[in-house]
Amino acid sequence: MTYKRSPGETVFSWFNIGFMLSLCFVTLYPFIYILFASISDPAEMARFRGMLFYPQGFSLDAYKAVLENPMVATGYRNTLFYVTAGTIINLIMTTLGAYALSRRNVYFKNSIMLIIVITMVFNGGLIPSFLLVNNLGMLNTPWALLLPGAISSFNLIIMRTAFQGIPVSLEESARIDGANDWIILSRIIIPLSMPVIAVMILWYAVGHWNSYFHALVYLRDRELFPLQLVLREILISNSTDNMMTGAAAGDRMDIGLTIKYATIVVSTLPILVLYPFLQKYFVHGVLIGALKE
């Protein structure tokens, strides 16, 4: 480009980059602090004040305490189950619904779409949903986390839009060869829609991994608690006590804090490690979501 920058613009460019760098720091530093603090020696860490740029001493005691904690282990296992089973159910239900509503020859298609869009702006709310789950006998069972959110209307509409974009001629030639809708869906539509399906898997899976609201409302049995509810007890309600039986009273406070750091690392690491590889799918997902509007 032959365009020449004025001095003011150069100053702005540098200021802009400096500002971005400080934003990156503010975003990243809390994670770094937690990571370094979690592998620090509990006693040294308790004495330490101020910005942390490297671990204070080294100790993995906190990780040992976290991994030996039965609640964290159970929570982890439960969450893995809810994420896997929940996402599979989400995917099947959403794909089926989106396929049926993307066909032109379905009767009452527009009315059904209206019925679905209405649920996006108005719903029964917490209490009736709770009583419904109760009446269905799903209270305090894993089903309560899997079924009530089986389809997100928003995702259904995104998927339907994607399916509608597949050329009709493909479907027509298959029909001439005698294919029914099930075969068209499984052999033509799904293989051609892998990008949107990848986005759906990620959205639903991250949703299951991170949410605790349904578990808080529907589950009483601690053996069924997902990781986030366990984390809530440890991080917010401060119940690290039962994790350090045997430690001397003075050490308890110290290791209690490092246990919090280690818990955060253990519960967040999988997502943070996977995220850079999946980032482009997430961004892609936001954009196909935006196209609909």
Partner 1 sequence: MKGQQAVRLHPDHKLKSVKQSLLMKDIIRDRWLYLILLPGMLYFVVFKYVPMLGLMMAFENYQPHLGFLNSPWAGFKHFERFFTEPQFWTLFRNTILLAIYNLVFFFPLPIILALMLNEVRQKLFKRFAQTLLYLPHFVSWVVAVGIFYILFTTEGGIVNEFIAKLGFEKIPFMLSEDWFRTMIVSQSIWKEAGWGTIIFLAALAGVDLQLYEAARMDGAGRWRQLWHITLPAIRSTIVILFILRLGSFLDTGFEHIFLMLNSMNREVGEVFDTYVYMKGLTQGQYSYSAAVGLFKSLVGLVLVLGANWAAKKFGEEGIY
The least CB distance from residue 68 to partner 1, in Å, is 20
Of residues 143-162, which lie at the interface with partner 1 (CB under 8 A)? 147-148, 150-151, 156
Choice between 31 and 242, CB closer to partner 1: 31
CA gap 56, 38 in Å, rounded: 10
Choice between 1 and 248, CB closer to partner 1: 1
- Choice from 53, 58, 105, 246 touching partner 1 (CB under 8 A): 105
Q: Token match 């991250």: residue?
A: 206
3-state secondary structure of 240: coil
CA gap 4, 179 in Å, rounded: 63
Helix 109-121 vs helix 70-102: angle between axes, to the nearest 10 degrees? Answer: 140
Q: What region, left, alpha or beta, does residue 108 occupy, with left being phi > 0 and alpha being psi -120 to 50 degrees?
A: left
Half-sphere exposure of 202 (CA within 13 A, CB side): 20
With CA atoms as reference, report the closest residue to 262 among 100, 45, 2, 53: 45
Choice between 238 and 246, CB closer to partner 1: 238
Task: Pick the piece of the chain touching partner 1 (CB under 8 A) from 55-63, 66-74, 165-173, 278-286.
Answer: 278-286
Choice between 181 and 247, CB closer to partner 1: 181
The least CB distance from residue 187 to partner 1, in Å, is 13
Neighbours of 245 (CB within 10 A): 8
Is 14 an interacting residue with respect to partner 1 (CB under 8 A)?
no
Is 129 an interacting residue with respect to partner 1 (CB under 8 A)?
yes
Of residues 85-104, which lie at the interface with partner 1 (CB under 8 A)? 92-94, 96-97, 99-101, 103-104
Of residues 157-196, which lie at the interface with partner 1 (CB under 8 A)? 180-182, 185
